[in-house]
Amino acid sequence: MQMITRDQESTAYVPPKVNWLPAEKGKGFDIWGTFSRKNGQISMDMTFTNKAMQPMGGFAIQLNKNSFGLTPAAPLQVPAPLGPGASVEVSIILSTTGAVQRMDPLNNLQVAIKNNIDVFHFACIVPMNVYFMEDGQLDMRVFLST
C-alpha cells in the first residue's frame, strides 16, 4: 500500500459518462455526462451531440434546489453553433452556495438545459466523492469547530 503525502498529486475517481438526455427525448440533442473534482472544485463534465438536422445554439443551464446547494459558478460556455452531427465537450464548475432542499435520493440533481430548440429537463446522480477534498485531509481546527 502506497502512502500519498501532501506534496504528491492525488487523482480523484471519475465515473464514466452516462446518457443523461437521449436524443429521442431531446429533439436530437444528446447529453452524456459525469461529475469530477478538479483543483478543489466540483465539475459537471458533459458531451453535447447534435443529432438533429439544424444547428443548435443559445445554451444555458439551470439546476433546481438540491441537497448540497449545487449551483453553476459561471454561465454555461458552449461554442456555437453546434452543427448537425457535431459533438462538443463542455465542463462547468459548480459551487455549493445555492439554495438547499433535501432530495430523494440525497444526491439527486435536477437539471434544465436550454438551447434554441427547447428547454430540456433531466435528473442525474452526483457521486458523493466529488464533495470530498482530493487529499482526504481536514484541518483539526476546522474539524473541532464543526
The reported pLDDT for the residue numbered 145 is 79
The reported pLDDT for the residue numbered 137 is 73
Residues in the chain: 146
**C-alpha span between 60 and 42 (Å, rounded):** 18
Residue 49 has phi, psi (to 5 degrees) of -125, 135
Kindly list the distances between the CA atom of residue 110 and the CA atoms of 4, 69, 94, 130, 138, in Å, as whole numbers in the listed order: 36, 12, 14, 17, 30
C-alpha cell at 86: 457535431
End-to-end C-alpha distance for the chain, whole angstroms: 31
110 found inside a domain: yes
84 found inside a domain: yes
For the chain, what is the domain count? 1
27 found inside a domain: yes
Q: Which residue range is the domain that position 92 belongs to?
A: 18-145
User: What is the block-wise mean pLDDT of the chain (146 residues), using blocks of 10 residues?
Assistant: 40 90 98 94 97 97 98 94 97 96 97 98 96 77 77
Q: What is the CATH number of the domain that holds 132?
A: 2.60.40.1150
The reported pLDDT for the residue numbered 8 is 39
